[in-house]
Amino acid sequence: MYIPTINDVRTAAERIKGIAVRTPLIRNDALDAALGAKAFVKAENLQRGGAFKMRGATNAIAALAPEVRARGVIAFSSGNHAIAVSTAAKLFGIKATIVMPSDAPRIKLETTRGNGATVVTYDRVNESREEIGARISADTGASLIKPFDDPNVIAGQGTTGLEIAKEIDPDVVLVPGSGGGLSTGVALALPKAQIYAVEPEGHDDIAHTLASGSIQRNAPGIRSICDGLLTEQMGEITYAIARDRFAGAVAVSDEAVRRAMRFAFRHLKLVLEPSGAASLAAALEGKVALAGKTVAVVASGGNVDEETFIEALRAQ
């Protein structure tokens, strides 16, 4: 098992240059006041495809040998990885097949199909996306682009951290957890910072994994509006990095996420999806001691249906 390093992240930055965009690091007086800290929001909702996933998908596809890449790619995703892989595949001129849960947000399903990908839906409670993806890969010869547990994907996501490091030297970084691709990539890129993964309440396998010393799996079922953070468990590679680098993992409620979405819209002028607002929610809810520190909050994506966003704006 190969564990990527900061050198892999630097290589990824060169590979994705000109495809993924450098997103802004936003500071806001209202956020500083709310946290009692120097807080900076990394606005990955403004990334190509609307989320950080473009970084890892592009790096993984670019790293394939040309003759292998020509056979196409397959991915499984709740949405943002699907959009990223389908976008990158379109840019490389290759076919993409994406396995997505049938209950994925409509905007993510439509965007993926709009990129020209073939979408195969599944029941996330009763079916295994990994098994479906492996079967299609075996049948077609397409390369599987994993959503997080892949060295090239992790390194690509880590370029988010490299960009943060070019502007600030954060004491603490809050990053959405899920399978750990983004959070562990950022941890590689920012070796001096305390990294906290943020998870939905009731779907907090990273916290249980760190506490137990072994990978723990979430129970079946959907318990959060944060559709992008409902991964069943961490991967072997992401766990190996998290075990050594994470300062901890914290959980946030759906209500806190909606408040964070509203805060981002009103004060930061950002549209965030629930998963993308999780780290901001953790900061605003005081889940980590931040007073007096320099803090980076990764806002991971903004692919949200209108109905979900309106509900968040109206929530109290």
Arithmetic mean of pLDDT, 98-115: 90
Q: Is the pLDDT of residue 288 over 80?
A: yes
Indicate whether 195 and 288 sit together in one domain.
yes
Query: Domain span at residue 277?
Result: 6-51+150-314
In this structure, what DSSP letter does residue 179 have?
A: T
Cβ burial of 5 (10 Å; 0-12, 13-18, 19+) is middle
Model pTM?
A: 0.94
**Cα 80 to Cα 55: distance, rounded to the nearest angstrom:** 11
Indicate whether 168 and 180 sit together in one domain.
yes
Q: Is the pLDDT of residue 125 over 90?
A: no
In a domain, 1, yes or no: no
Q: Is the pLDDT of residue 286 over 80?
A: yes
Q: What is the CA radius of gyration of the chain?
A: 18
Arithmetic mean of pLDDT, 244-253: 98
**Cα 202 to Cα 196: distance, rounded to the nearest angstrom:** 17
- Give residue-wise pLDDT tens across range 130-184: 889 888 889 999 999 999 999 999 999 999 999 999 999 999 999 999 999 999 9
Among 125, 144, 163, identify where a domain stops: 144
Average pLDDT score, the chain = 95
Return the pLDDT at 68: 96
Cβ burial of 67 (10 Å; 0-12, 13-18, 19+) is exposed
Take residue 298 and report the two structure tokens written for it.
Answer: 């990764």
Q: Is the pLDDT of residue 200 over 80?
A: yes
Return the pLDDT at 65: 96
Indicate whether 160 and 42 sit together in one domain.
yes
In a domain, 306, yes or no: yes
Take residue 311 and report the two structure tokens written for it.
Answer: 């509900």
Q: How much of the chain, in percent, has pLDDT values that exceed 70?
A: 100
Return the pLDDT at 133: 85
Return the pLDDT at 107: 86
Arithmetic mean of pLDDT, 232-259: 97
**Cα 177 to Cα 38: distance, rounded to the nearest angstrom:** 22
Q: Is the pLDDT of residue 314 over 80?
A: yes
Q: What is the CATH number of the domain that holds 198?
A: 3.40.50.1100
Indicate whether 38 and 155 sit together in one domain.
yes
CB 218 within 8 A of CB 201: no
In the chain, the number of structural domains is 2
